Amino acid sequence: MQGLSDFIPTRKKADYINQLLKVGFDTIDFGSFVSPKAIPQLKDTAEVLSLLDLSETQTKLLAIVANYRGAIAACLHPQIHYIGYPFSISETFQLRNTNASIGESFAIIEDIQELCILNKKELVVYISMAFGNPYGDEWSAEIVHHWIKMLSGLDIKIFAMSDTIGVSTPDNIEYIFKMLIPKFKNIEIGAHFHSRPANWSEKLEAAAQSGCTRFDGAIRGYGGCPMAKDDLIGNMATEQMIGYLDYYKYPLNIDHEAFKIAMEMAAKIFP
């Protein structure tokens, strides 16, 4: 929703997320505690949270923050289980995304992790530009490994390898997951893919067959990254991922009828 200029009414957002809570997802990224000037669409995150019915769901809520102040705001809400922070291994993108350098962001994560432990939250770190970047910043699988090692040293247990601009390939996806998962057996390493319509399945297949069991998606593939400068690069579509994982007998806990209703609601909410 964050990239839409027309404000979606708070109640409409909450009704949609309440439907998603019936589907059986492990986690829902429901909102962000970020500057309302930067992302006006998400200025009502706290109000949306107050309208969510968590009485009959096992789904956990995740909120994204971009700084320590956002983490403090998120920690005020006991309903939130996860706090997510985007950490880019591209210096250029980190500055664009959070107005902080990589070094400054690492220090921010240290402070947020302390806050999470104090408030019984779990920190999820998105390794942005994990498969390359368009800015000419240095990238290699070894750099990815270095930062996972550094961050996991803070006792952070969940990471999402993020293909923010759709540059990943089956080869580098397989290489990175097969390198990381055996070396970091006590942490969860997931995939957050953006893709073009023609190549989503090969990326999903490469990650799934390389041991990845945590995947982020967005219904109908809505969203994406403005930095991509390509309208065809959006989030990986949840319904396609479910279809693939169901077909190949990966264990899911999805209520397909509830998901169908959520799909219909999404079509009315998003342009």
- In this predicted model, what pLDDT tens digit does every residue of 213-240 receive, in sequence order? 999 999 998 876 655 555 657 889 999 9
Residue 12 tokens read as 């409409």
**Mean residue pLDDT across the chain:** 93
Once rounded to an integer, what is the mean pLDDT over residues 66-79?
A: 97
Once rounded to an integer, what is the mean pLDDT over residues 160-177?
A: 93
Answer with the residue of higher pLDDT: 4 or 108: 108
Share of the chain above pLDDT 90, in %: 83
Strand partners, 158: 124, 188
Answer with the residue of higher pLDDT: 36 or 270: 36
Answer with the residue of higher pLDDT: 4 or 120: 120
Contact at 8 Å (CB) between 104 and 84?
Answer: no
Distance CA 63, CA 119 (A): 14
Residue 143 tokens read as 């750099």
Q: Which domains does the chain have, with CATH numbers?
A: 10-269 (3.20.20.70)
Once rounded to an integer, what is the mean pLDDT over residues 72-100?
A: 94
Contact at 8 Å (CB) between 236 and 221?
Answer: yes
Give the DSSP letter string of 58-84: -PEEEEEESSHHHHHHHHT-TTEEEEE
